[in-house]
A and B are shown apart, each in its own frame.
Chain A
Amino acid sequence: DSGVTQTPKHLITATGQRVTLRCSPRSGDLSVYWYQQSLDQGLQFLIHYYNGEERAKGNILERFSAQQFPDLHSELNLSSLELGDSALYFCASSVAWPGMNTEAFFGQGTRLTVV
């Protein structure tokens, strides 16, 4: 158990809908990262939050947004869903952010299926 909790584990929804994925980081970890893993793309960085502030953005669509709350949990909001958004969404946490001496711990992922 990595200590990072993601809910829900599975989500099936229709095109055009909006969903919220939740991540609770390890106790004491200030950084939360969101990653998307689709079959043909591998793991792609979406967005990074550190202590409530957005620190970096990757290949995140405008239809997607995220936030980190004062208790450090984070939510990833996906709206106007398309079939191509079907993927595994991972959250990872670390004390600071991945660097020389900081490991990242991954949640079990949320499998999103858009039908």
Chain B
Amino acid sequence: KNEVEQSPQNLTAQEGEFITINCSYSVGISALHWLQQHPGGGIVSLFMLSSGKKKHGRLIATINIQEKHSSLHITASHPRDSAVYICAVIVGSGNTPLVFGKGTRLSVIA
């Protein structure tokens, strides 16, 4: 079983919809990253968080350390949000590389 599980695997939404992508992990972590990978392949770091909530524009990320769960929300979705969203965790005390989920492929249709 993968240490990091994401759901859903694929998501299609209409422009303007509110989107939620979930990430659950089974190990103790020190922080969690949300990454965005566009069709061209490049990876961009959206958030790094270890507690609570962060907001950047239309993107909101939350984490519940006790429940080992994080969510990425996109408000007022737009076709340019179409990408693969990847959750990655830093296991243990922090001096370890990222462990990745398999990603959620989001398509936003105009």
Contact = CB atoms under 8 A, between A and B. Distances in A.
Nearest to B43: A106
B43 A109 contact: yes
A65 B95 CA distance: 21
Contacts of A45: 97-99
Nearest to A2: B44
Interface in B49-100: 50, 86, 88, 90, 94-100
Give chain B's interface secondary structure class. strand
Given A42-B101, A99-B95, A100-B31, A105 B45 contact: yes
B30 A58 contact: no
A103 B54 CA distance: 14
A39 to B, nearest CB: 11
Contacts, number: 64
A42 B85 CA distance: 12
Contacts of A109: 41-43
A98 B33 contact: yes
Contacts of B90: 98-99
Interface residues of A, number: 24
Contacts of B103: 42
Contact of A90 (B43, B96, B102): B43
Interface in A25-56: 33, 42-45, 48, 56
B48 interface: yes
Nearest to A98: B90
B52 to A, nearest CB: 13
Contacts of B30: 99-100
A19 to B, nearest CB: 18
Given A99-B31, A99-B90, A56 B41 contact: no
A76 interface: no
A108 interface: yes
Contacts of A99: 30-31, 90, 94-95
Interface of B: 30-31, 33, 35, 40-45, 48, 50, 86, 88, 90, 94-103
